[in-house]
Amino acid sequence: MKIKYFKMTIGLFPLLTMGSYSYAESEGESSGFGPLMVRSQAPLQSSGVNTRLRDASDFVDSELFLSASAASVWAESEDYTLDYYQNDIFVGFQMPINKTLKAELSYTFRYAANNHLDSLTISFHDMIGMSQNGREDVDNNRFYISSDDYTNEDFENEILGSSWELYLEQLLFDNESHSLSLGGTLYYNYLPSGPFENTAFEQALQLNYTGRFGQYHTVYMMGSVTHRTPDSFSGISLKEWAINGGIGYQYRPSFRHAYLFEYRRYEGEAEEISDLSEPVNEITLGYRLHFGLSAVELAVVENIINMDNSADIALTLSFRHRI
């Protein structure tokens, strides 16, 4: 009888302890992927070097990633009108060079194509009681940019950008709960023809913080400065230097599921064009499904505070795999 009772207890042990496992105890599972693989969707910020939240604590894993974004841009003021769709394909690879240094190489292809988000955006704003900000007064599915010095009334299927980024990150401090790192980005965009023809070489420097609070909670923070090439978007004169920041939170209650919230604030990059000179504020809600060494992310980006300098809404789907 005692032997049977002992065997039954051993058999039930995994079920009894399911709520108190350690992520590291499951062989073949990834310990996490850090912040969401999401870039800014604001017209000016997305057209050049772009800093995002990063995990300052992971200098062990190599990773392949592929991300696709669809955004609906609506911004209108006395100085300009921006009404179009932009889509991003973002692919890259990161790897550790040693225990305190890692590198990432990525490529972003941006293009204007009809992703039919206008109707969804209007319905979503109605549902949450947000103002349409004039969107309902114009036709859906337009590709229209107009300012004092530039007008383009039909650029559907045109390429908006083709850029490479090299990112290097150095670990500065690390213990069981807190990590701090310093990262630098070299950005090169080359688009030799078309209405958005451009060649730009830009740089960014960012400080990253990761805090781990218990088994389920992680906080990410980022502060950065970017140096951009002037006149790199539709004739708009840009500031050479901009300061940006962001904070994110991840709640991961189990191996499979993680829920993330991110807020990023980017300095307005236009020199003297009303709302485009004002800060961009974007919030992102995301869900990550883990399976083995891979993960799939779904995220939605919403512009807040100033409604005339970023995308109304953007949807992102990402696949990430650790090696």
Give me the phi and psi of 265, to 5 degrees please.
-125, 120
Predicted pLDDT at 308: 78
Mean pLDDT of the chain: 85
Predicted pLDDT at 124: 64
The answer to whether 32 touches 252, Cβ cutoff 8 Å, is: yes
Between residues 233 and 251, the one the model is more confident about: 251
Distances (CA, A) of 180 to 54, 194, 231, 240: 11, 42, 34, 27
The distance of Cα 235 from the centroid of its chain, to the nearest Å, equals 26
Q: pLDDT tens digit string along 126-176?
A: 566 565 566 666 677 889 888 777 788 889 999 999 999 999 999 999 999
Considering the chain, what percentage of its residues have pLDDT values greater than 70? 83
Nearest by Cα to 53 from 289, 250, 247, 299: 247
pTM exceeds 0.85, yes or no: yes
Predicted pLDDT at 300: 95
Q: Which residue has the tokens 């994110």?
A: 248
Structure tokens at 297: 């992310």
Predicted pLDDT at 130: 60
Between residues 320 and 43, the one the model is more confident about: 320
Mean pLDDT, to the nearest integer, of 54-78? Answer: 91
| Position 204 pLDDT exceeds 80 | yes
Predicted pLDDT at 5: 41
